Amino acid sequence: MSTLVSKQYIVFLLLVGCTLFFASSASVFSHGDEDHTDIFPKVEVCQHVSEQGKSGCYTEVCDAGATTLKCVEDIVDTSLVNEGTEFVTQVLYDLEKIPLFSPHMYEGAKRMGSVLALEYGIAADVFSQCPSDFRYGCIDGFFEAATIDVSPADVGNEVCKTAHGEMLVHCYHRIGHGIMKHSQHRYANALALCDSVAEGYKADCWDGVFMEGVHEQIDAGGVELFDSSNDVLAPCSVMDEHYREMCYRNHGLYLKHIYEGNTEEAIRECTGAG
């Protein structure tokens, strides 16, 4: 092979290699430590097909080996980076109508909130893009991601300050959930942090703490977060008086759990609450 041909062949290989590299790079959206093939063009097509055709369209969007939840998360990721939260919300409403995807709408919305916090920052204008749909999944995801390295009270006081109406109440309520997780489900620590949030919204934060505590107690598989062996109304019965209302609001679910759904027994215990 002549020197000229050799050089031309090398240049050809370099061009092919560069083309393949940039083509593959353009089709990847990075989130955290994960990369996935950019499926946005397929998602965009599904948005414009008829209602009857959406199920088949979305089912074909993701790789055959992907779980349904992973598929929903990938759809959220690529839709968010390409079009934003309104588009993602509309896509989730489409997916909610499809039995294969509908069980994962909370997780999909939660993924949206997580990506917003991690990729776009812990700020009021970012948080305000979270819809309250899908059981407040976006709000939960935002706070869960935002409080990895930052105090939940600091996050709340930053992002809730521009919220309005119902979203304002839910904002501080969700802070309570985050604070309880951040405090490793220690009530005293969590409530003390709630006491540092904006005046007038402490009770909403306490409500989130107690709700999170009840769900954790139920899901703990027998691991006690507090000693209720002699008092099924604990921890509410031993709380400072100003915390008790929010505690008892959530405690009924725990009573129903320990009495295995026997509402009459749960009500009987509630009548002794004070």
To the nearest 10°, report the CA torsion of 248, 252, 258, 264. Answer: 130
Choice between 72 and 65, residue whose per-residue pLDDT is larger = 72
> For 48-56, what is the mean pLDDT?
93
Residue 261 resides in a domain: no
Secondary structure (3-state) at 114: helix
Cβ atoms of residues 103 and 128 within 8 Å: no
Choice between 113 and 171, residue whose per-residue pLDDT is larger = 113
User: Considering the chain, what percentage of its residues have pLDDT values greater than 90?
Assistant: 45
Mean pLDDT over all residues of the chain? 81
Q: What is the pLDDT of residue 11?
A: 34
Judged against a pLDDT cut of 60, whether residue 219 lies above it is answered with yes
Residue 188 resides in a domain: no
Judged against a pLDDT cut of 50, whether residue 3 lies above it is answered with no
Judged against a pLDDT cut of 50, whether residue 51 lies above it is answered with yes
Cβ atoms of residues 177 and 208 within 8 Å: yes
CB neighbourhood size of 133 (10 A): 15
Q: What is the pLDDT of residue 171?
A: 86
Residue 214 resides in a domain: no
Q: How far is CA 173 from CA 149, 206, 210, in A?
A: 20, 7, 10
Cβ atoms of residues 108 and 137 within 8 Å: yes
DSSP code of residue 149: S
- Burial of residue 22 (number of CB atoms within 10 Å: 0-12, 13-18, 19+): exposed
Q: Extract the tokens encoding 62.
A: 């993701």
Q: What is the pLDDT of residue 43?
A: 95
> For 207-231, what is the mean pLDDT?
75
Give residue-wise pLDDT tens across range 72-91.
Answer: 999 999 999 999 999 999 99
Q: Which of 103-117, 133-147, 204-218 shows the highest mean pLDDT?
A: 103-117
DSSP code of residue 224: -
Q: What is the pLDDT of residue 160?
A: 85
Residue type, 41: P
Q: How far is CA 162 from CA 86, 114, 208, in A?
A: 19, 19, 20
Smallest CA-to-CA distance from 85 within 52, 111, 56, 58 is with 111
Q: What is the pLDDT of residue 8?
A: 44
Residue 218 resides in a domain: no
Cα 237 versus chain centre, distance? 32
Cβ atoms of residues 179 and 190 within 8 Å: yes
Residue 20 resides in a domain: no
Q: What is the pLDDT of residue 126?
A: 92
> For 212-222, what is the mean pLDDT?
78
Confidence of residue 20 (pLDDT cuts 50, 70, 90): very low
Residue 206 resides in a domain: no
Give residue-wise pLDDT tens across range 232-261.
Answer: 888 898 899 999 999 999 998 889 888 888
Residue 231 resides in a domain: no
Q: What is the pLDDT of residue 89?
A: 97
Q: What is the pLDDT of residue 101?
A: 96
- Burial of residue 123 (number of CB atoms within 10 Å: 0-12, 13-18, 19+): middle
> For 109-128, what is the mean pLDDT?
93
Q: Extract the tokens encoding 27.
A: 């089709």
Choice between 15 and 206, residue whose per-residue pLDDT is larger = 206
How many independent structural domains does the chain possess? 1
Range with the lowest mean pLDDT among 91-100, 235-244, 259-268? 259-268
Strand duo 34-37 + 28-31: pairing: antiparallel
Judged against a pLDDT cut of 80, whether residue 34 lies above it is answered with no
Choice between 252 and 225, residue whose per-residue pLDDT is larger = 252
Q: Extract the tokens encoding 56.
A: 């088949």
**Nearest-angstrom CA–CA distance, 256 and 21:** 58
Q: What is the pLDDT of residue 221?
A: 54
Judged against a pLDDT cut of 90, whether residue 151 lies above it is answered with no
Q: Give the structural domain span for 87.
A: 29-121
Q: Extract the tokens encoding 93.
A: 């409403």
Cβ atoms of residues 211 and 176 within 8 Å: yes
Q: What is the pLDDT of residue 165?
A: 77
Residue 192 resides in a domain: no
